[in-house]
Amino acid sequence: MRKQFAKTLLELGKDDKLVVLIGDISHFLLKDFEESHRTRFYNMGVAEQSMMSMASGLALGGLFPVVHSITPFVTERCFEQVKDDLCYQDVGVNIVSVGSAFDYASLGCTHHSYDDIAILRSLPNMQIVYPAAPHELDTLFRETYSNGHPTYFRLPAKSHGLKTNPKFGEVETIINGKDVTLVVAGPQLENANNAVSELKEKGIECDLIYLTTIKPISEDSVGTLIKSLGKTKKLVTVEEHSVIGGIGDEISRICSKVPFRHTRLGIEDKFLLNYGSYEEHCQANGLTKEGIVKAIHEINR
């Protein structure tokens, strides 16, 4: 994902309005961009609040800034700057974060961030894009970076290996079923896809719907979700995010016209006090194929 980010940026760097601000990470990754576009690449050090407001000023000056750092530092730490200087003034700053959820598994709670979607989706004008494969990042970034609105790109460390056709603002139906609606975002698409295949052999058929845009979701896509839920009346959402305020909450909000039962798979309301690896955290939080299969069996009983 990170390599694709560097590649996409380098190609888009031909656009002389694109300016990259990094919070002292990814220097080596973005070296080619830096060397090709010295006057449009700035390492702003670790002063994320001012970096964010500076980006707002760059956008007010007619440029397309891309602000890049680790998730908690470009979302939680500078939340008021994002609110006042990006969203309230509706300027086209792109925030690209790495290290969301527990991607920095062993670094502990200060470096985990699984409330980023929750806090950012509460801000008017904010667009939230969550690509989980290199081709998705490339397509969605090109589609949105210059559209004049603040956009948050959440780049997970892990990619799913599936072929998808992302389009900004739209959900994608990966598999059609009839019994349960399974809505997933991020690299968990792979586990969800495997879970759906396994369940099919046991006679349970799921609609598998995949999100790469969390906000805004188009009316057509809301229609797709409502149609599915009208049919199945059962929803399971899967996300590497807190069960408070994330994708589960968003789907529940936009589909409130129809009645359905809802199981949220995600990170419960707690700090993750363990270290170890990404996989270990997935296991511990039920974000596995087995976890998804179990949730679907339970809601489908």
Partner 1 sequence: MPQEDLKGIRLNILEMVSRAGEGHIPSALSVVELLYSIHLNKTKNDQFFLSKGHASAALYAVLAHFGYITKSELDTFCKYDSVLGGHPHKNPEIGILNSSGSLGHGFPIAAGYALSKKIKNEPGRVFCIIGDGETNEGTIWETAMYAEQLKLLNLVAIIDNNKSQTRAMTSINLKDKFLSFGWEVREINGHDLSEIAEVLFNKNNINHPKPLCVIANTTKGKGIREMESNFFTWHHKAPTELELEMFKKEVLK
Q: Which stretches of the chain bind partner 1, using CB under 8 A? A: 19, 39-40, 42, 44, 47, 49-50, 53-63, 65, 80-81, 84-85, 88-89
Of 15 and 143, CB closest to partner 1 = 15
Least distance (Å) from partner 1 to the CB of residue 154? 23
**Straight-line distance from the first to the last Cα atom of the chain, in angstroms, rounded to the nearest whole number:** 38
Least distance (Å) from partner 1 to the CB of residue 60? 6
Least distance (Å) from partner 1 to the CB of residue 9? 16
Least distance (Å) from partner 1 to the CB of residue 90? 9
Tokens standing for residue 191: 């586990």
Of 59 and 217, CB closest to partner 1 = 59
89, amino acid identity: Q
Of 63 and 120, CB closest to partner 1 = 63
Of 84 and 219, CB closest to partner 1 = 84
Of 49 and 300, CB closest to partner 1 = 49
Q: Is 6 exposed, middle or buried (CB count within 10 Å of its CB: 0-12, 13-18, 19+)?
A: middle
Of 63 and 96, CB closest to partner 1 = 63
Least distance (Å) from partner 1 to the CB of residue 132? 31
Neighbours of 277 (CB within 10 A): 11
Do the Cβ atoms of 110 and 83 come closer than 8 Å? Answer: no
Least distance (Å) from partner 1 to the CB of residue 151? 17
CA 265 remoteness from chain centre: 16
Q: Is 7 exposed, middle or buried (CB count within 10 Å of its CB: 0-12, 13-18, 19+)?
A: middle
Q: Which residues pair with 262 in a beta bridge?
A: 235
Q: Judge if the upstream peptide bond of residue 124 is cis by omega within 30 degrees of 0.
A: no
60, amino acid identity: L
